[in-house]
């Protein structure tokens, strides 16, 4: 069988699937369903402990399989997020003041309102540490759902959602760095910052990006990991030392491994939750209500109100072809917190029961956001500009 025939007839559909943004949304749903099934059937006794398998490599490194995923592989996820932030700041929707005002305003409202609503339910208790959980928006998942909605979500709305979610990610990264850290080892932190400044200087001097930079990036991760600041912050810091000419190339190379390997592994490892009998009842607790209300009410309300204020003050304007009805739908899509929300839940609470309650609430809120956004856009007219597949 000729090689070109094999590529055309068997590999081409697979490549198209990898570049279709709808695929990641479907994959996250499938991996979540699989993980919850294995965690709540006869496989649970082997499946849940599997992710807690001890590695015993070194006291300087993560010590369980789940930690390697959350602290190691997710650093690559955050590295990709850092590259996206850098690209948007230099040549994308955030490159100019006029372009950036509206997504920045929306992201600020979309972070502030959920945190305040969470505090309303949990202020005065130890649960208040979870304020960062409903702040987050899952870029890949929300864009995947937006693509599934089709032409009723204009392409310009998806671009705006991308910019808003990237700023949202930056806010989550700042929250992780400053509020969700353990005790600080200032020697490791100082060493990491010095190394980062040297990498920035090398980039400024336009020195070649070589294998030495990659080794330095790994050392940066090791220093940050042992400093008490969450290791994934190193991924973002390293991204800002990458020469601008390489940003798009690295984004392209990392997209598929991150979206189709790292995120599914993270989902499997962190949704290994044994749901208690009557778990729906647990969603009425103050922790769960804070997360549910923060995401499903706070996100749309915060994004819409801050964007509306920015437009009325003539600081920005709605993207072409986008109405306020579309913007409300975008607010519901942004309530899909999933990956980042679950990640912050792991940092906010040491108690496994509180972690599981938070994860369950995040999953429930994300599923409801998918349903509500699909229903909302279903009653909006299809946009004349048909979006491209996977856009």
3-state secondary structure the chain: CCHHHHHHHHHHHHHHHHCCHHHHHHHHHHHHHHHHHHHCCCCHHHHHHHCCCECCCCCCCCCEHHHHHHHHHHHHHHHHHHHHHHHHHHHCCCCCHHHHHHHHHHHHHHHHHHHHHHHHHHCCCHHHHHHHHHHCCCHHHHHHHHHHHHHHCCHHHHHHHHHHHHHHHHHHHHHHHHHCCCCCCHHHHHHHHHHHHHHHHHHHCCCCCCHHHHHHHHHHHHHHHCCCCCCHHHHHHHHCCCCHHHHHHHHHHHHHHHHHHHHHHHHHHHCCCCCCCCHHHHCCCHHHHHHHHHHHHHHHHHHHHHHHHHHHCCCCCCCCCCCHHHHHHHHHHCCCCHHHHHHHHHHHCCCHHHHHHHHHHHHHHHHHHHHHHHHHHHCCCCCCCCCCCCC
Contact 82, 235 (CB under 8 A): yes
What pLDDT score does 83 carry?
92
Mean pLDDT by runs of 10 across the 391 residues of the chain is 50 53 82 94 94 88 93 93 86 75 94 96 92 90 84 84 87 86 87 97 94 96 92 92 93 92 93 79 86 97 96 89 93 92 92 91 94 91 51 37
What pLDDT score does 5 carry?
47
Alpha-carbon distances, residue 33 vs 37, 52, 257, 276 (angstroms): 6, 20, 21, 16
Q: What's the per-residue H, E or C state across 151-177?
A: HHCCHHHHHHHHHHHHHHHHHHHHHHH
What pLDDT score does 388 carry?
40
Q: Is 44 exposed, middle or buried (0-12, 13-18, 19+ CB in 10 A)?
A: middle
The pair of three-digit structure tokens given for residue 381, joined into one six-digit string: 């007219």
Segments making up each domain of the chain, as ranges: 22-180+230-378
What pLDDT score does 162 carry?
86
What pLDDT score does 385 carry?
47
What pLDDT score does 278 carry?
66
Q: Where are the beta strands (DSSP E) in the chain?
A: none
Helix (H, G, I), strand (E, B) or coil at 22: helix
What pLDDT score does 36 carry?
93
How far is C-alpha 212 from the geometric centre of its chain's CA atoms? 29
**Rounded Cα gap, residues 219 and 300, in angstroms:** 40
Residue bearing tokens 């025939």: 5
Alpha-carbon distances, residue 51 vs 5, 35, 44, 110, 299 (angstroms): 41, 11, 11, 33, 32
Q: Is 184 exposed, middle or buried (0-12, 13-18, 19+ CB in 10 A)?
A: exposed
CATH code, 22-180+230-378: 1.20.1530.10
Contact 241, 7 (CB under 8 A): no
Contact 141, 338 (CB under 8 A): yes
**Rounded Cα gap, residues 26 and 32, in angstroms:** 10
Helix (H, G, I), strand (E, B) or coil at 351: coil
């Amino acid at each position: 069988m000729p090689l070109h025939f094999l590529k055309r007839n068997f590999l081409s559909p697979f490549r198209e699937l990898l570049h279709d943004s709808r695929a990641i949304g479907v994959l996250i749903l499938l991996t979540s369903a699989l993980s919850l099934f294995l965690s709540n059937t006869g496989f649970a006794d082997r499946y849940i402990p599997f992710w807690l398998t001890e590695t015993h490599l070194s006291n300087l490194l993560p010590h369980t399989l789940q930690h390697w995923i959350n602290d190691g592989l997710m650093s690559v996820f955050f590295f990709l997020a850092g590259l996206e932030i850098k690209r948007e700041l230099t040549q994308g929707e955030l490159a100019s003041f006029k372009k950036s005002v509206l997504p920045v305003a929306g992201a600020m409202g979309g972070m502030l309102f959920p945190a305040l609503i969470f505090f309303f339910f949990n202020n005065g208790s130890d649960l208040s540490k979870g304020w960062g959980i409903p702040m987050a928006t899952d870029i890949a998942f929300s864009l995947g759902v937006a693509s599934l909605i089709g032409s009723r979500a204009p392409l310009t709305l998806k671009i705006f959602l991308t910019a808003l979610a990237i700023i949202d990610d930056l806010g989550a990264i700042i929250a992780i760095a400053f509020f969700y850290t353990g005790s600080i080892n200032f020697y490791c932190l100082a060493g990491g910052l010095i190394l980062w400044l040297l990498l920035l200087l090398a980039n400024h001097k336009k020195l070649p990006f070589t294998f030495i930079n990659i080794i330095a990036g790994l050392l940066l991760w090791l220093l940050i990991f042992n400093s008490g600041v969450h290791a994934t912050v190193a991924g973002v810091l390293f991204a800002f030392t990458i020469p601008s000419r390489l940003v798009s190339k690295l984004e392209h190379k990392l997209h598929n491994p991150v979206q189709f390997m790292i995120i599914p592994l993270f989902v499997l490892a962190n949704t290994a939750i044994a749901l208690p009998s009557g778990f729906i009842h647990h969603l009425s607790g103050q922790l769960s209500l804070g997360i549910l209300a923060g995401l499903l009410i706070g996100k749309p309300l915060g994004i819409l109100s801050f964007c509306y204020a920015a437009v009325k003050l003539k600081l920005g304007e709605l993207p072409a072809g986008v109405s306020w009805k579309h913007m409300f739908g975008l607010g519901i899509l942004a309530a899909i917190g999933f990956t980042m929300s679950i990640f912050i839940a792991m940092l906010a609470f040491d108690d496994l029961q509180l972690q599981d309650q938070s994860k369950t609430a995040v999953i429930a809120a994300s599923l409801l956001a998918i349903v509500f956004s699909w229903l909302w856009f279903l009653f909006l007219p299809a946009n004349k500009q048909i979006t491209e597949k996977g856009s």
